Amino acid sequence: MAESAVRMTGVVKRFPGVVANDGVNFEVMKGEVHALLGENGAGKSTLSNILTGLYRPDEGTIELDGSTVSFGSPRSALDAGIGMVHQHFRLVEPFTVAENVILGNPETPFVIDTGSTVERVAELAKRYDMAVDPNAKIWQLSVGEQQRVEILKVLYRGARVLILDEPTAVLTPIEAEALFKTLRAMTAEGRTVIFISHKLDEVMSVSDRITVLRSGRTVGTVATKDTSTRELAGMMVGRSVEFSRAVRRNPGVSSDVVLSLTDVNCNDDRGRQALHGVNVTVGRGEIVGVAGVAGNGQRELAEVIAGMRSSTGGRIAIEDKPVLNGRARAAIAGGVAHVPEDRLHTGLAAGHSVEDNMALKNYRTPLLSRFGLLKRNIITTQADDLVMKYDVKTPDTGTPVRLLSGGNVQKVLLAREFSTNPKVLVAASPTRGLDVGAIETVRERLVEAADNGVGILLISEDLEEIMSLADRIVVMYEGRLVADMPATGATREQLGLLMGGATLEASR
């Protein structure tokens, strides 16, 4: 019988308005890769933040190697040998890799000896087969490399239990493979790995045992060899899910182009080229899915079309009429609607009321204002209608949107964007972070809009989403569109390869 490394019993953590962990039981054995599986919002990150001392549990006990512990801070958890690679990296961007690795380590001497630190970090990286230059600055690294730095950090601190929170979310399939090898090398040395994910396939391929969380509760723990993706999916969502293509009343017409980009270039915030000669068209009523690992130019693509970022070359046209470069108002006037990735801060004014947010796009029209004065009563009526139509759950239209849940925030945004009768909608990760019910509603709205003739550019990392909604799929890799194909012919494997930089021929 294997020894227990970590045992968490009856863990409860409440946040204002939500119980993120509701009596979680979780036990991990020494030397295993133990997957923690659950949908977005199931409470996985919260549980691991409790284990690493970042949050204090409201109830429950934690045992490490059989004895009860209580971590007041990340430091005490680190000292006890628990290290975490966060979903959102905790790295100091202007620092070098080596500086990040030694940060906070009690064994670092008062006067830093850069030479020997660099050497030791390089050695450690080599031992686990992780290619990364200790002298490079973090901001110069790819996401995959940054993740390796995160892992090096906890290994350098001598962690015996490593927690990785959705480590593959930002990786290409090839980088993910390399990560799995590193994890194996670590368990072979007797370290314990807790691998958090909501992706069934990779959990099946990397773990020894799996614990499934649902709505903050433990559903159960199973040995990987005794289970199947289907069973796991059932445990995860509480009902068996079939992934199916959306039903369309009016399939889109690719030939009747509403949005066209010709050789579009643009730079990212650092001034490096983010888009390299992008060509893409969206037809009337067509949904074009843009697949790709985040950070390959998707955000810049969306912003350039929405007029929030200036292109440095090329042409963007709506129904063949060029749109003024880098002018959001021109894009709106031209008929572009935009659901940005960061909906609460880029898409909406978080502190403002639901009704004000809903009026944000057409308050200038004679319908909502005259002589620069707002017609408040009409704004309220309009908002009431939209709240009903889009089934937004809010106490009233005067409530600030930041108080709404994620799904309802997204509904407010969609309601506003569609209220301007757009010709084109650019939607960036429109369902990320939403619960299952809200995801369904959002997807239904997108399909409905397409049926009514709106051309939709759907940017998403979620292949399932793209494959079930899109008529046509393009793949983005390093700022270029590397493939353009009808959705019906595409397979997950092929898309996965393309997203990882394989050529179209090689992916067939």
Query: What is the binding site for another protein (CB under 8 A)?
Result: 15, 52, 54-55, 73-76, 78-79, 84, 86, 90-95, 99-100, 102-105, 108-112, 153, 269-271
The pairing of strands 273-284 and 253-267 is antiparallel
54 binds, among ligand ADP, Mg ion, another protein, none (CB under 5 to 8 A by kind): another protein
Angle, CA of 70, 33 and 4, to the nearest 5°? 45
Contact criterion met (CB below 8 Å) for 300 and 309: yes
Contacts of 45 (CB under 8 A, 6+ apart): 87, 165, 196
Q: Where are the alpha helices (DSSP H) in 238-394?
A: 298-305, 328-334, 354-359, 376-389
93 binds, among another protein, Mg ion, ligand ADP, none (CB under 5 to 8 A by kind): another protein
- Return the number of the residue (46 or 380) whose C-beta is nearest ligand ADP: 46
- Return the number of the residue (341 or 417) whose C-beta is nearest ligand ADP: 341
Nearest distance from C-beta of residue 161 to Mg ion, angstroms: 18
Q: Which two tokens stand for residue 492?
A: 């997950």
Indicate whether 441 belongs to the interface with ligand ADP (CB under 6 A): no
What part of residues 40-79 is at the interface with ligand ADP (CB under 6 A)? 40-46
Q: Show the site string, 335-374: x = touches ligand ADP by CB under 6 A, - = not.
A: ----------------------------------------
The pairing of strands 472-477 and 480-486 is antiparallel
- Return the number of the residue (7 or 14) whose C-beta is nearest another protein: 14
Lookup result for tokens 């569609």: 418
- Return the number of the residue (48 or 380) whose C-beta is nearest another protein: 48
Residue among 384, 345, 337 at smallest CA distance from 362: 337
Cα separation, 325 vs 198, in Å, equals: 39
Nearest distance from C-beta of residue 16 to ligand ADP, angstroms: 6
- Return the number of the residue (104 or 398) whose C-beta is nearest another protein: 104
* Residue 351 C-beta-side C-alpha neighbours within 13 Å: 0
- Return the number of the residue (91 or 474) whose C-beta is nearest another protein: 91
- Return the number of the residue (114 or 205) whose C-beta is nearest another protein: 114
The helix/strand/coil state of 152 is: helix
Contacts of 244 (CB under 8 A, 6+ apart): 468
- The residue whose Cβ lies closest to Mg ion is 45
Q: Show the site string, 321-360: x = touches Mg ion by CB under 5 A, - = not.
A: ----------------------------------------
Contact criterion met (CB below 8 Å) for 412 and 441: no
- Return the number of the residue (277 or 406) whose C-beta is nearest another protein: 406
128 binds, among another protein, ligand ADP, Mg ion, none (CB under 5 to 8 A by kind): none
Distance of CA 364 to the CA centre of its chain: 34
Burial label, 145 (beta-carbon count in 10 A; 0-12, 13-18, 19+): middle
What part of residues 433-472 is at the interface with Mg ion (CB under 5 A)? none
Cα separation, 31 vs 248, in Å, equals: 49
What part of residues 44-83 is at the interface with Mg ion (CB under 5 A)? 45
Q: Show the site string, 6-45: x = touches ligand ADP by CB under 6 A, - = not.
A: ---------x--x-x-----------------x-xxxxxx
* Residue 422 C-beta-side C-alpha neighbours within 13 Å: 28
Cα separation, 151 vs 141, in Å, equals: 14
Nearest distance from C-beta of residue 356 to ligand ADP, angstroms: 24
Other CB atoms closer than 10 Å to residue 75's CB: what's the count? 12
Contact criterion met (CB below 8 Å) for 245 and 465: no
- Return the number of the residue (48 or 397) whose C-beta is nearest another protein: 48
- Return the number of the residue (49 or 353) whose C-beta is nearest Mg ion: 49
43 binds, among Mg ion, ligand ADP, another protein, none (CB under 5 to 8 A by kind): ligand ADP
CA distances from 242 to 39, 385, 464, 468 (A): 16, 34, 11, 11
The residue count for binding Mg ion (CB under 5 A) is: 1
Nearest distance from C-beta of residue 194 to another protein, angstroms: 16
The residue count for binding ligand ADP (CB under 6 A) is: 11
Contact positions vs ligand ADP (CB under 6 A): 15, 18, 20, 38, 40-46
Contact positions vs Mg ion (CB under 5 A): 45
